Amino acid sequence: MQQPKNLTPVSQLGEFGLISRITRDIVLRNPTTIKGAGDDAAVIECGSKCLVFTTDMLTEGIHFDLVYFPLKHLGYKSAVVNFSDICAMNGVPKQITVSIGLSSKFSVEAVEEMYSGINAACEKYGVDLVGGDTVASASGLVISIAALGEAVKEQITYRNTAGKNDLICVSGDIGASYMGLLLLQREKKIFLESPGVQPDFSDKDYLLRRHLLPEARADIIRMFQEFKIKPTSMIDISDGLSSEILHLCHESGLGCTIYEDKIPMHPVARETARELNLDSTMVMLNGGEDYELLFTISQSDYEKIKDVQQVSIIGHMTDKEKGCYLSSKNNVLHPLTAQGWDAFLKGK
């Protein structure tokens, strides 16, 4: 059979290029669909509130490695990354469904262990597990979780609504998850070369927890409500800070300037970067999987948020024509580029 010519490999487009390609011709046919593809979650009108819907898939060998990822932790993280997407819309997660593909290597007890982590996440965030599906898999474990949340229509926050001169803020600290991943990968390599050697994670508990057991920033959503702040745009940091900032800028039709010395990094993460001969700024910009919230606020909300310990103001939005830049500690401007995680480019 003759093979078709001029086919485009997925790796040529990458994840976001592929998403743009396959969603460009989508037509929304129902008036209750307020927001479709293109944000952290879809938004559906439902009575006095809106439903916020998202889904996320994790595959063994791409998103996680069972050599060092405990199944209970994996279950917990699989649920939390979906809760984070709901929070990124200024919503509250309420229900999830869980679908899994299992290879023959998994025992019933192993599956129960993973679900114990999912249930722990649901209990902590007040979420109900309401269904799902289980199928056979020929190549390892696949986890697909869909999450449903709710929000008041007027409080829902999108990626494309930032304004010029808005302040760019981030919750928590950035880069620790990536450093935790590098430590786990290093110890795996040592173990495979010398099976009797025990892993050395002394004083690195914070980094491991940030990667294996991340949290969704539902507390920041409650803070918005308490302080009567509505972000002008928002996204969660899953693919790296620089990538997510560029999303906000692209969707909002703006540029930005962020400041290297304003980006928060945990001292243990910074010290570990030095130990591994990595530039800490590179780690903060491109590491990914922090699941912190990146958001913009109007300057009129500055007084409300300036003293909040879990929030750092790292820059501001500018005219699109000015571009997107990082201002270094010595005041040199460097163009921001998206170098975060992209599974489709992994093998390039």
Mean pLDDT of 304-314: 96
Q: Which of 111, 108, 85 lies closest to 100 in space, CA to CA?
A: 111
Non-local (6+) Cβ contacts of 303 within 8 A are: none
| Residue 342 pLDDT exceeds 60 | no
> DSSP letter string over 229-264?
---SEEEE-SS-HHHHHHHHHHHHT-EEEEEGGGS-
Q: How confident is the model at residue 191, as a pLDDT?
A: 82
In which band, very low, low, confident or very high, does the pLDDT at 348 lie, cut at 50, 70 and 90? very low
Length of the chain: 348
C-alpha 53/C-alpha 67 separation (Å) is 32
Tokens 């879990």 belong to residue: 310
Q: How confident is the model at residue 261, as a pLDDT?
A: 97
C-alpha 98/C-alpha 111 separation (Å) is 12
Q: What is the pTM of this model?
A: 0.92
Exposed / middle / buried, residue 132 (Cβ in 10 Å: 0-12, 13-18, 19+): middle
Q: State how far the alpha carbon of 289 is from the alpha carbons of 96, 263, 305, in Å.
A: 20, 16, 24
Q: pLDDT digits over 258-298, tens only?
A: 999 999 999 999 999 999 999 999 999 999 999 999 999 99
Q: Which residues pair with 177 in a beta bridge?
A: none
Q: pLDDT digits over 7-50, tens only?
A: 888 877 777 677 678 777 777 788 888 888 888 899 999 888 99
Residue 298 CB: number of other CB atoms within 10 A?
15
In which band, very low, low, confident or very high, does the pLDDT at 347 lie, cut at 50, 70 and 90? very low
Mean pLDDT of 42-62: 93
| Residue 194 pLDDT exceeds 70 | yes
| Residue 186 pLDDT exceeds 80 | yes
Helices (H), 108-175: 108-125
> DSSP letter string over 54-116?
EEEEEEBTTTB-TTT--HHHHHHHHHHHHHHHHHTTT-EEEEEEEEEEE-TT--HHHHHHHHH
CATH number for the domain running over 167-345: 3.90.650.10
Q: How confident is the model at residue 139, as a pLDDT?
A: 81
φ, ψ dihedrals at 326, nearest 5°: -105, 125
Q: pLDDT digits over 125-168, tens only?
A: 999 999 999 999 988 999 999 999 999 999 999 999 999 999 99
Q: Where are the domains of the chain?
A: 51-153, 167-345
Q: How confident is the model at residue 19, as a pLDDT?
A: 67
Query: What is the chain's mean pLDDT, rounded?
Result: 92
**What is the β-pairing status of strands 92-102 and 128-136?**
parallel
Q: How confident is the model at residue 343, as a pLDDT?
A: 53
Q: Which of 42, 60, 61 lies closest to 51 in space, CA to CA?
A: 42
C-alpha 327/C-alpha 298 separation (Å) is 21
C-alpha 162/C-alpha 130 separation (Å) is 35
CATH number for the domain running over 51-153: 3.30.1330.10
Same CATH topology for 51-153 and 167-345: the answer is no
Edge-to-edge strands, sheet with 49-59: 33-35, 42-46, 49-59, 142-151, 92-102, 128-136
Q: How confident is the model at residue 345, as a pLDDT?
A: 52
Residue 124 CA from chain centroid, whole number: 19
Q: pLDDT digits over 226-250, tens only?
A: 999 999 999 999 999 999 999 999 9
| Residue 74 pLDDT exceeds 80 | yes
Mean pLDDT of 79-103: 97
C-alpha 24/C-alpha 1 separation (Å) is 31
Q: How confident is the model at residue 23, as a pLDDT?
A: 74
